[in-house]
Amino acid sequence: MTDVADINAERKPGGRIGRILLPLGLALVLGGAGFATTWLGFWSPVSLFAAKEQAAEAVAAPAVAFVDIPQIVLTLAGPGTRTLVMTVKIETDQSHRAEVEHLTPRLLDSFNSFLADIDRAAFEKRGILDIVRDELATRAVFVLGKEAFTDVLITEFRIQ
């Protein structure tokens, strides 16, 4: 029993120095790695503070305007009476808003001609809204041009 007590009583010399040098060595290595990454240009401590300024600049984006297109009401061809009711908005910027409002009759004509040619059974298929949105966007670019057109927003889509 005394042999067991003697083994636990022995201590290694230099154990306290190793406990102190390990955290100091890790701090030195991590500090050197941080310095090296900033010196090589991977990141900058200044960019941590500049991120708030960039976010404020992103908020000051160009003014977006939404132009209302009159509600489209179409009777679908086929047996029984079914009606398509759709409300659309055109997204543009403030400088092209007047142009979009001026060309609204042409937009309505192109939208109505496309929607009237859709087969009645197609409205029951999955993904038809995405197809309709893409086709309306194509027709809006054709009428307005790429610089005046940003997006088509479908705010109402009903089949009664």
Q: Residue 125: pLDDT band by 50, 70, 90 thresholds? A: confident
Retrieve residue 6's tokens: 């003697």
Q: Which residue has the tokens 């940003």?
A: 150
Is residue 39 domain-shared with residue 21, that is, in the same domain?
A: yes
Which amino acid is present at 121?
Answer: A
Please check whether residue 107 is in contact with residue 143, taking contact to mean a CB–CB distance below 8 angstroms: yes
The predicted structure's pLDDT at residue 3: 55
The predicted structure's pLDDT at residue 102: 93
Please check whether residue 112 is in contact with residue 106, taking contact to mean a CB–CB distance below 8 angstroms: no
The predicted structure's pLDDT at residue 16: 74
Is residue 86 domain-shared with residue 137, that is, in the same domain?
A: yes
Cα 59 to the center of its chain, rounded Å: 15
Is residue 41 domain-shared with residue 95, that is, in the same domain?
A: no
* Overall pTM surpassing 0.75 (yes/no): no
Is residue 121 domain-shared with residue 51, that is, in the same domain?
A: no
Is residue 73 domain-shared with residue 131, that is, in the same domain?
A: yes
DSSP conformation class of 88 = E
Check pLDDT > 90 for residue 42. Answer: no
Domain end among 17, 42, 58: 58
Tally of structural domains, the chain: 2
Is residue 92 domain-shared with residue 49, that is, in the same domain?
A: no
Please check whether residue 85 is in contact with residue 160, taking contact to mean a CB–CB distance below 8 angstroms: yes
DSSP bridge partners of 142: none
Is residue 12 domain-shared with residue 90, that is, in the same domain?
A: no
The range of the structural domain enclosing residue 29 comes to: 2-58
Provide the CATH number for the domain around residue 83: 3.30.479
